[in-house]
Amino acid sequence: MNLTVFQLVLLVIGFVFFLVSIDFFKAKKFTLAHLLLVGGGSAFIAWSFLYPWFLNNIAHTIGLANGADLVVYTSLVMVVWMFLGLYNRQIKSDITLTDLMRAMTIEQARGSIDDNIQTVVVIPTHHQDKKVLTLIRDILEYNHGVIRVDDGHNGDLYQDIATKYKENVVVLRHPRNMGQGAALQTGQKYAKEYTKAQYIIHFDSDGQHQTKDIQTFIDYADHNPDINIIFGSRFLPGSGKIPRVRARHKMIQLYFMKLFVWIDLSDTNNGFRLVRRNALDDIIITMNDYSHASEIETITIHKKVPYAEVPVDILYNTNQNGQNLRNSINIAKRIIYRNLFFK
């Protein structure tokens, strides 16, 4: 067999990669998948250069014209696989960084919540809207606790709340803006570790959620102790009216979640919800942005958390525009990726 210099060099490189991959596998730096990919792939390439007919025969068997086509398509698959691996690593790195900043935030918490408080309302905020002061006052009148998470905004409202409300209000401040999902998880973590509340309510600060509906969640939870998470719905009997344009948008999201996640909800993108204390170990939010709503529903199905819905009356006479189509598409992509590829 006559080999060119180029073929000989590739043969040696393939053999070296094969030996190195075995050493990495023995040292537990490689998983079995890496060994098969790098080591097996290198050995396969080397064998193909020694016996070109071998690669062509495999290509013909699966309907390709020649061995070169097989190499090209296999390389493309490997590139995609490597990209997914790197993306997974980036996601895990972001989760680790978020957890570190969350720990710093909780260490610097201001305020406390009495042990006799059974319900705490987590309010993530970013913009400096003074209306949140009125919102906190209204929640306190119902004898609930409040955990207000300032998501990285360097304004005076943080200090105003800490000064004005001395009892049953905790204020937390992220060192930088991390997203609504990250803020909710920070509030949940504080509620679990530093309060004895049995119910944790997720409540938006944009003026759309109404404090009167909190009792609807509590009443349902009290009468259904087997239900660990309760979602608010704008489409159940007893809920308020929703603008037609928004309704169409929400229905598209609803069909997507039912198709992809198989969750039986009438409203799959409502941020108003109750999580029972014993479900906090399951409902851990890792998507920092608005994708967290879909992530919670995905976790609910995958971990078989008992769930239900109650009607809520959402106000739409605010300046909030809601999520646009582009954000919805991005959320869909993240949910698909997390379900299929992220580990």
Same domain, 144 and 184: yes
Of 43, 76, 97, which residue constitutes the final position of a domain?
97
Confirm if 239 and 289 have CB atoms less than 8 A apart. no
Query: Who wins on pLDDT, 73 or 103?
Result: 103
Q: Give the pLDDT band of residue 32 (cuts 50, 70, 90).
A: confident
Q: Are residues 80 and 187 in the same domain?
A: no
Could you tell me if 196 and 293 lie in one domain? yes
Q: Are 290 and 323 in contact (CB under 8 A)?
A: yes
**Within-domain flag for 102:** no
Q: What is the mean pLDDT of the chain?
A: 83
The radius of gyration computed from the CA coordinates of the chain, to the nearest angstrom, equals 27
133 part of a folded domain: yes
Which one is predicted more confidently, 241 or 98?
Answer: 98
Residue 153 belongs to domain spanning: 108-340
Q: Is position 49 within any domain?
A: yes
243 lies in the same domain as 282: yes
The predicted structure's pLDDT at residue 205 = 87
Q: Give rounded-to-5 percent helix, strand, coil for the chain.
A: 55, 10, 35
Q: Do 165 and 29 share a structural domain?
A: no
Task: Report the pLDDT value the prediction gives residue 263, as an integer from 0 to 100.
Answer: 84
More confident site: 130 or 206: 206
Percentage with pLDDT > 70 across the chain: 85
Kindly write down the DSSP assignment for every residue of 230-272, as one continuous string.
Answer: EEEESSSTT-----HHHHHHHHHHHHHHHHHT----S-SS---
47-56, 64-73, 201-210, 222-231, range with greatest mean pLDDT: 222-231
Residue ending a domain, choose from 69, 97, 125: 97
121 plus 74 within the same structural domain: no
Q: Is the domain of 127 the same as that of 89?
A: no
Asked if 218 and 237 sit in the same domain, the reply is: yes
pLDDT tens for residues 228-279? 999 999 888 877 676 665 656 666 667 777 676 778 888 888 899 999 999 9
Evaluate if residue 8 carries a pLDDT over 70. yes
Q: How confident is the model at residue 78 (pLDDT cuts 50, 70, 90)?
A: confident
Predicted local distance difference test score (pLDDT) of residue 123: 95
Residues 112, 93, single domain; the answer is no
Confidence of residue 212 (pLDDT cuts 50, 70, 90): very high
Taking the CA atoms of residue 3, residue 8, residue 12 and residue 14 in that order, the dihedral angle to the nearest 10 degrees is: -80
pLDDT surpasses 80 at 109: yes
Nearest to 253 by CA among 241, 233, 236, 267: 267
Sign (positive/negative) of CA torsion 188, 209, 120, 169?
Answer: positive
Same domain, 93 and 126: no
Determine, yes or no, domain membership for 137. Answer: yes
Domain for residue 103, yes or no?
no
pTM metric for this prediction: 0.78
Q: Domain with 258 in it: what CATH number?
A: 3.90.550.10
Lowest mean pLDDT among 60-69, 101-110, 303-312: 60-69
For residues 76 and 147, membership in a common domain is answered with no
Domains of the chain: total = 2
Domain boundary among 52, 68, 97: 97
Say yes or no: 70 and 20 in one domain.
yes
pLDDT in tens, 151-208: 887 667 777 787 788 789 999 999 999 999 999 999 999 999 999 999 999 999 888 8
For residue 68, tell me if it sits in a domain.
yes
Q: What percent of the chain has pLDDT over 90?
A: 40
